[in-house]
Chain A
Amino acid sequence: MEQDSRSSDHLSLERISALLDEPGDDPRATEHLKECERCEREQERMRRMRMALSALGGVTPPEDEWEQIEPHLPDRQELEGRGEEDDVLPLFRSGWVGRVAAATLVFAVGLGAGLQLRDDGSPSGENPDRAVASGETGSSGATAGVGAETGRRGIGSAAGFTVADDGGPASLQRSSDYLSAAQRLESMVSGGQEVDVEPIDDPVAAAEEMARLEALAEAAREALREQPADPALNNFLFRVNERQESLRSRLGAAARLASMDYR
């Protein structure tokens, strides 16, 4: 049991340890330390132990560790393949994720620039965000208004994705790529399996997901500079931010470390 420092009993080792880190935390215990040679010496031992721990160096790994590791390392060909993907945009290094993000953002801008969403054939559009995120828009139909070109080019630029000038919103609507993109976005934003693979247990995967989300958010912000009032874009960014917050809260410090420090 911890001893009361007011008595003549000695301080517990735990109390001594605490006083080592926070000397002013307990004035009476500190006073006891000054008067009690034994406790003072014990604190000195504890201090030395702490210093010795901080000076611990490396530990020799097994002799054959490299031989165990090497067969699992990426080869030149594999890495070169990744490099080609990187040419799309450094922020979007994860293959389909980048392309999906770019395509989806183009899609979102198209929606936000005057699309009227239809559900069951009737006018809708009150909740374009839901439509984008759920992937319902493609199947329910979307007709585009004018004025999306500028924003689409902006997004295309932000995402390293070329938007064809002759590709009108109607063509976007019909494109299965965009349907797929929206469906995948739903998975991404709502934490579906395609992206959210063991996020809590795998800091590197968490870092990747955070990077993807940040890339999406940045691309959306870029597009919003040109069309700041665009509801679909704003909703989209909100959803991405929500997803980021959710991931952060679930991962705690691990996610932050992974996303901020793995650089």
Chain B
Amino acid sequence: MDQGELVERARTGDRRAMQRLYQEHASHVFAVVRRLAGDEQLAEDLSQDVWIRAFNKLDQFRGDSGFGTWIHRIARNMALSHLRRRKRRPDVEGEASPGDSSPPPEDAVINRQMLEEALEQLPPGYREVLVLHDVEGMTHKEIAESLDVAVGTSKSQLHKARARMRELLGTPSREQQQEETKGNGAG
């Protein structure tokens, strides 16, 4: 059964069709709310809300885009709405430089777990912009409109977030440190 049929059946209240749709897209929905929320419990609540809302509003889905795209947007918008309600101010932190504190790792393999852990440790304002831009692929203009900030603020937050991510991605190994020391002589 293709996705269009599943959606049609779900519209009639077919729970099995709903469950199939859920199973196909649950990880992506959870990913976007988890990364934006930065909090496991909040993400669980938001994810449930997204699915409940989506299935209750399925009559609004016209099929112009895929169901996955549709629910992804709902997830993103609901997470952003929640974040806006919290009315946080942009995080203001000092800039990082390659020469500051411990140097970032050399060309260590950046695996997914490292990234997810680093994302969790980012200040919320940094994380939102980084996730929206580098993970979700939104433009600064879209981010600025979504978060109700200036485009320049979005850019600034992104660069600060990346800098912080570089710091959070671990301490270099001894070999890496040696390589780093060699590299320092070239600056």
Residues of A within 8 A of B (CB): 1-3, 8-18, 21, 36-39, 41-42, 44-46, 48-50, 52-54, 56-62, 65-66, 68-70, 72-80, 82, 86, 93, 200-204, 207-208, 211, 252-254, 256-258, 261-263
Nearest chain A residue, comparing its CB with the CB of B96: A13
Given A58-B30, A201-B85, check contact A49 B183 (CB 8 Å): no
Nearest-CB residue, chain A, relative to B162 = A17
B155 touches A38 (CB 8 A): no
Q: A70-B15, A74-B56, A252-B145 are in contact. Are A50 and B134 (CB under 8 A)?
A: yes
> Shortest CB–CB separation between residue B136 and chain A, in angstroms?
9
Query: Using Cβ atoms and an 8 Å threshold, which residues of chain B touch A60?
Result: 27, 30
B52 to chain A, nearest CB (A): 4
Kindly state whether residue B4 has any CB partner on chain A within 8 Å.
no
Q: A204-B74, A261-B65 are in contact. Are A38 and B186 (CB under 8 A)?
A: yes
Query: Contact: A48 with B78, CB < 8 Å?
Result: no
Closest 5 A-B residue pairs measured CB to CB?
A58-B27, A253-B145, A76-B13, A13-B163, A37-B186
Bound complex: CA of A13 vs CA of B26, how far in Å?
35
Q: Is the CB of A14 within 8 A of B95?
A: yes
Residues of B within 8 A of A57 (CB): 27-28, 31, 112
A204 and B57 contact, Cβ closer than 8 Å, known pairs A2-B97, A13-B98:
yes
Can you list 14 A-B pairs with a CB-CB distance of less than 8 A?
A13-B96, A13-B162, A17-B158, A17-B162, A37-B187, A39-B98, A61-B27, A65-B48, A82-B59, A93-B59, A200-B81, A203-B77, A252-B146, A254-B80
**Is there contact, CB below 8 Å, between A36 and B187?**
yes
Q: Which residues of B contact A11 (CB under 8 A)?
A: 97-98
| B71 closest partner in A (C-beta) | A262
Q: What does DSSP make chain A's interface, helix, strand, loop or mixed? A: helix
Chain B residue total in the interface (Cβ 8 A)? 79
Q: Chain B 13-31, CB within 8 Å of chain A: the 1/0 string?
A: 1110011001100111111
Task: Name the residue on B nearest A258 (C-beta).
Answer: B77
Residues on B with beta carbons closer than 8 Å to the beta carbon of A62: 44
- The residue in chain A whose Cβ has the minimal distance to the Cβ of B26 is A61
